Amino acid sequence: MVHEKPLFWVGSLLEGTPTIIKAFHFNQLVLLDIYPILATPFYNLFKNPYIWFGILWGIPVPLVTTSLAMVFHAKENLHPAITHILQDPLQWFFLAHPLLFGILFGILGTIRQEKDTQIHNLVNRLKKLSTQDPLTGLANRRHFSKAFEEEAARTLRQNLPLSIVFLDLDFFKKINDTHGHHMGDTVLKEVSRYMKRQCRPFDTAARWGGEEFIILLPANDEREAAIYTERIRCGIASGFSEEIPFPITVSAGVARYEAGDSLEKLTERADQALYQAKQAGRNRVVVWEKEHCGPYPDKDGC
């Protein structure tokens, strides 16, 4: 939990060993702001093991001091009754040690848990930033490359097909020039959401760059990938989002993985098919084949 106040706590948990915690506010020593402590499970005895550790750590103190007091009273021929011993205020201080240690360890443990949670959340955020495109939320090229390597290895082991799809928004520069870059960003985000909804859990959709997208389709040959891509193309062309007040279309190229293909080689074939789709009039899907690139299926099938 991050505070907006100019309040800083001094102290650390070096190698798990707590040190004295202080707080400074406008150069004056003040009490540590305990609001985040109260807002955490600190007072839930069943969820904070540090409290129980502190109580167990403090239990020997009253046991030892009470035993010593009884031995002392016996040597001095005094009445060793426990009620007599408990009349000593100092002994009550010793008896309170389990509670004091429980509170102290609970506070320090909760602070450490809070810091560990913040570090964990920061690591997850950095991991997310390193694998996702910040605008669209799709995978970035780094994550896609890793996914391709894993799927290519699985494809060879299990003798399954693997295909990729290259999609490009038609006349995207015109959208930016006519409607502004903010609307251009909206188009990219809405198209990304739509593609992600069409993907299976094990498919990988990524933003390749600019207005280009790429989808990795495990266990799909080029025919199945083309049918899948045609469904996306038809959905976008028919108007899929209320956030976009004008029609948009996409062109796509499909290529199948062949043994020994690198990602660069496979994307090059898909890019050639995409180029053929652009040359043929846009708003269509073209499948790369060794002999030629041909549209599949006919774009009038929407």
Residues acting as catalytic residues: 211
Are residues 199 and 151 in contact, defined by beta-carbon separation less than 8 angstroms? no
Paired tokens of 3: 């505070």
- Token digits for 87? 């009349």
Contacts of 72 (CB under 8 A, 6+ apart): none
Degrees to nearest 5, angle at CA 140 with 297 and 124: 135
Exposed e or buried b per residue across 123-139, where buried means at least 16 C-beta atoms within 10 angstroms of its C-beta: eeeeeeeeebbeebebb
Q: Strand pairing partners for 55?
A: none
Positive or negative: CA dihedral 102, 103, 105, 109: positive
By CB neighbour count within 10 A (0-12 exposed, 13-18 middle, 19+ buried), where does 79 fall? exposed
3-state DSSP assignment of residue 133: coil
Nearest to 289 by CA among 273, 268, 267: 273
Q: Calculate the dihedral angle through the C-alpha atoms of 111, 115, 118, 120, rounding to the nearest 10 degrees.
A: -120
Orientation angle between helical segments 181-198 and 222-237, nearest 10 degrees: 140
Residue with tokens 């021929």: 77
Bridge partners of 115? none
- Residue 97: how many other CB atoms lie within 10 Å: 19
Token couple for 36: 């985040």
